[in-house]
Each structure stands twice: as C-alpha cells, then as structure tokens.
Amino acid sequence: MSQKFDVVVIGAGPGGYVAAIRAAQLGLKTACIEKYIGKEGKVALGGTCLNVGCIPSKALLDSSYKYHEAKEAFAVHGIEAKGVTIDVPAMVARKANIVKNLTGGIATLFKANGVTSFEGHGKVLANKQVEITGLDGKVQVLEAENIIIASGSKPVEIPPAPLTDDIIVDSTGALEFQAVPKKLGVIGAGVIGLELGSVWARLGAEVTVLEALDKFLPAADEQIAKEALKVLTKQGLNIRLGARVTGTEVKKKQVTVTFTDANGEQKETFDKLIVAVGRRPVTTDLLAADSGVTLDERGFIFVDDHCKTSVPGVFAIGDVVRGAMLAHKASEEGVMVAERIAGHKAQMNYDLIPSVIYTHPEIAWVGKTEQQLKGEGVEVNVGTFPFAASGRAMAANDTTGLVKVIADAKTDRVLGVHVIGPSAAELVQQGAIAMEFGTSAEDLGMMVFSHPTLSEALHEAALAVNGHAIHIANRKKR
C-alpha cells in the first residue's frame, strides 16, 4: 500500500528543502526526495547551492582573499607578514567541512519539522503520483495531494570543450583543484566564471577569461559593469570579450584552446580550463509521458506567476522554471508555494530579486538599470557616491567602487540600486527593502544612518539623486 502525503517535494536544494520545511510548519504531511550523492558516498541534502555552488565557492573566495590580503594589503595597516604561503588542500578541506556541516544541518531541520526524507530518484506520474527509485533500485510510489518539483539545474557542457577528469572541468571540478594552476583558462565571464577566476588569480594563477559576448556583464547597469571590468582587469584577470571558443586539444597535461575574436583565430594553452557558460534545468526522466506537466520552448517546466504547472496541484520552483537561477529566488518560491497550498494568499515580487557577484569588490544590484528605464521611456534622476569618499571604507582600506541610486524623475520613487564595492550585497539588500515599500530617494535621504558605516554611501547616493549630497560635490540632475 502506497504512502500518502499532503505535499511531496522532488529535490532538496535551496528551493526544495525550504518548501518542505515551510509546508510541514503549516501542518501539511510532507515528504522530500533527494538523490544527490556527496563526496562521502551518501545522499547529501542542500542541492547545488550547498554542495557545489554558493557555499563552497564563497568559502574559497573568502580563503583566497584572506591570503591575498596577508600578502598584499597588511603592510598599509602596519602589519608585517613575511613568508605567507597557501596550503591549497587545507583550503579545499575547510570548504568541504563547511559543506558537510550545512548539509547535515538540513537533515536535522527535516527531523525537527517532521519532514519525511526519501533517498532516490523522484519521477512525476499521472494522477499526482510520485515514483521513487531508491539507491538500491527498489521502486515505490507515493500518493500526493500536491507535488512541488525542485529538481534544480546543472552546468551546460559545450561541444568545443568536452570535460575531462582533471584538465577541462566545470564549476564543480574547479572547486576541487589541489594545487594552483600556473595558467588557468575560463570560458564565460558570468557570475561563476568571474568568481572562480578570482579565487585562483588571488592564489597566483595567470587567468584568462574568454567571453563570447562583446559586452561585459550585460545584465548589470552599464556604469557598474564598466567599473567592474576596469577593476577586475587591474586585479589580473585577462578578460577577452568577443572570444568564441571553437575547439580544445588536451596534450601532456595541458589544454590548447582555439577561439576566434576580432583579430581572427587565436590559440592559448592552459594548465586547467573551467567551462562556465551557464546552467540548464534538470528534467531527465523527471516527468512520465502521461504526467500532464509541460515544458516550455527552452526546456523549463512551464509555470504561471505562482509556480503552478499545467496540472492542478503540481508546482515547480527554482532553476527548473523561468527566471534567474538564484538560490534565494528558489527559496522564496518554495515558501510562496507552500503557503498557497496551505490556503494563504502568498505572492512574490519578481521585480526585486537581488543579483550578486562575490568578487572583490562585490558587484550587486536590485531593480532596473538606467539603460532599461530609459529604454522604457522613464525619466530618471541618478545619484552616485564613491567609496573613496566614505570614512569607513578609508579606515578599512577598501575604497574601490560606488553606490548608484536611480529614481523616477516625477515621483522620486527608487527604481534601482546598483553597487560595486565593499559589502555590496548587504547594501543592495537595504535598497531592496526600501524599494519593496515604495520608498523615495528623499525618504532614504531623511533616514538616519549610523556613522561611520559603509551604509552611509547608500544614504549619500540617495541624497545625490536630488542634489543634496553632503560629502561630495553635487552634479546637476540629468
């Protein structure tokens, strides 16, 4: 006899496990299915984010930046650090331990909230049934009142650069290097490529980033993207725009990459090559032919604004549906869906999902860019404030970058906050909170910000929108 649940969640990543916990909190009998096998040979919860994405990459970014600071930036503080070295295996082991603690924590949360966990591959059948193929090959079927598909995504592979065991790798493989490559190639100048390129550049690798597009960070505000390109280039990343990879050849523990750019065909040889050209939804053997769930033209599960699929009672969230592939977007969709299943009128503001690139300086934004707004015919006022004028940034010797606030010229309502600089992710989140409540630039300017803080840069940028900045000369409105 099959088991019956109010909610069955397929996938225990940042969307799935959050949805399962929230559903259980709301009194719904909930199950969550996961098949990912971690480094210890056991099923590991947490999905890409905790196992091979957000968390491990940030661990390496933080470790590599501390090494960089010790070698290059301590002297200005009067700190002498001689003979600083990096133990890469120890750094990678620290990362692995963080992952282990966090993924194990989800199992504890499941138990505390009464979520039933199943190990194996989940598949949606007709009539809201879910088939589970266990790790031992045994099959069982669950009956579900509601199904939430949160199967996530995986790295895109490209024919010109097929992955190898240790020379040509994807983002997962790039987290496991046991030594610093002398020459590192990265295909793709997106979030993943820039973050991983930064990790190994700080540790001493000569890094070349090959980006097929002619424009750098096209999703970001042009002023921020221009500043980011300048800063990252100065840090040693050789970013080649308009460089389309056409082939690779692995020979003698090195890889020669062939690509074309404005100068014609080029060749570069690297010790390691990271392929970071994006991610695609995981739908392999996920939907039975008679499940009724449909995919859109790009291979994503079709859903409406509330993540409902074409089948009543079946929802899909996170990387497997439309929109940005971001862990926080998936998590909030999970909460929204769980609450709607429980009868609440939950909704999600897709216009205010922050984006962050965890290079140093960080790059982050929320809302619309100046280019988007002008393209829509919206008249705007813009205020900027450089961290070079921030007392707190000066004290920390971290003055690169700026804060940009964009407001509607007629209503003064804040429409976008864009930052490159220290703690950009945190500052943008302050902007997101303000924008969620319809804050004007004047409102932000009237708020009291503690001193000295980096947040004052957001305050000053908001003041600058209307020509009222105190700590820089004001520009005329445009």
pLDDT, one tens digit per residue, over 22-75 is 999 999 999 999 999 998 899 999 999 999 999 999 999 999 999 999 999 999
The annotation places the binding site for FAD at 58, 122, 319, 325-328
Residues contributing to the annotated binding site for NAD(+): 188-195, 211, 278
Whether 356 maps to a domain, the answer reads: no
- Whether residue 244 is predicted with pLDDT greater than 60 in this model: the reply is yes
User: Who's near 73: CB < 8 A, 6+ residues apart?
Assistant: 397
Confidence check: pLDDT of 319 > 70: yes
Q: Are 276 and 196 in contact (CB under 8 A)?
A: yes
pLDDT in tens, 263-288: 999 999 999 999 999 999 999 999 99
Confidence label for 160 from pLDDT (cuts 50, 70 and 90): very high
| Domain assignment present for 160 | no
Residue 471 lies in a domain: no
| Final residue in a domain of this structure, among 277, 293, 321 | 277
Share of the chain above pLDDT 70, in %: 99
Cα separation, 357 vs 364, whole angstroms: 6
Q: Would you state the pLDDT for residue 475?
A: 78
Parent domain of 20:
3-155+280-350
The answer to whether residue 470 sits within a structural domain is no
Q: What is the mean pLDDT of residues 106-113?
A: 98
- The answer to whether the CB of 454 falls within 8 A of the CB of 427 is yes
- Given this model, what pLDDT does residue 25 score? 98
> How many structural domains does the chain have?
3
Q: What is the mean pLDDT of residues 245-265?
A: 97
Q: Is the same domain home to 221 and 139?
A: no
Catalytic residue annotation: 451
Residue 147 has pLDDT above 80, yes or no: yes
Q: Is residue 320 scored above 90 in pLDDT?
A: yes
**Stated pTM of the model:** 0.96
- Closest-CA residue to 35 (of 282, 206, 318): 282
Burial degree of 413 (CB within 10 A; 0-12, 13-18, 19+): middle
Residue 476: pLDDT over 90 = no
Which residue among 253, 277, 301 closes a domain? 277
Identify the pLDDT of residue 39: 85
Distances in Å between the alpha carbon of 14 and those of 41, 110, 248, 389, 424? 21, 13, 35, 38, 22
| Same domain (yes/no): 369, 399 | yes
Handedness of CA 434, 62, 54, 30 (dihedral sign): negative
CB count, 10 Å around CB of 71?
17
Q: Judge contact between 244 and 275, C-beta under 8 A.
A: no
Annotated binding site: 58, 122, 188-195, 211, 278, 319, 325-328
Same-domain status, 272 and 302? no
> Per-residue pLDDT tens for 303-316?
999 999 999 999 99
Q: Are residues 7 and 136 in the same domain?
A: yes
Mean pLDDT estimate for the chain:
97
pLDDT of residue 207: 98
- Predicted confidence band of residue 477 (pLDDT cuts 50, 70, 90): low
Flag whether pLDDT at 196 surpasses 90.
Answer: yes
* CATH number of the domain where residue 215 is located: 3.50.50.60
Q: Which band of pLDDT confidence, cut at 50, 70 and 90, is reported for residue 1?
A: low
Residue in this structure with the two tokens 């939907």, named with its chain if needed: 287
Same domain, 272 and 193: yes
Length of the chain: 478
| 302 located within any domain | yes
Domain boundary among 277, 297, 317: 277
